[in-house]
Amino acid sequence: MRTRPSRPVPGNGKPSARKPERTCIGCRVRRPKDELLRVVRGPSGVHPDPRGKAPGRGAYVHRDPRCVREAIRRGALARALRVDLSPDDLATLRGEIEREME
Ligand SMILES: [Zn+2]
């Protein structure tokens, strides 16, 4: 029985980020998650979760209509949340998300 080598310490070259980061599903840029809007698939469907506290699978997008549009256009939102979203669902969701950005 051999002992496993210890994991390499993360942070080679990068400053050690204390803030958790998430990838925007629209433009795929990683940002601290408090700069992104969480969208959650909860028990009652898919909704924006501006406080990031709702239970369920979440996806993150910039508070930028271009990122939202891109996430929807590419199907990235449905994929990230592992859910089927009809065009109607997406239109409703987009409206809800854009309201959160105002
Ligand atoms: Zn983005």
In angstroms, the CA 59 to CA 7 distance is 28
Give per-residue pLDDT as tens, 12-28.
Answer: 556 665 789 999 999 99
Q: Measure 45 CA to ligand 1 centroid, in angstroms.
A: 23
Indicate whether this model's pTM tops 0.85: no
**Residue 6 Cα to ligand 1 middle (Å):** 35
pLDDT, tens only, 38-94: 999 998 899 999 999 999 999 999 999 999 999 999 999 999 999 999 999 999 999
Reply yes or no on domain 21-101 having CATH 2.40.10.10: no
CA 47, 49, 53, 59 torsion-angle sign: positive
Q: Where are the domains of the chain?
A: 21-101
> Which residues on neighbouring strands pair with residue 39, listed in sequence order?
48, 59
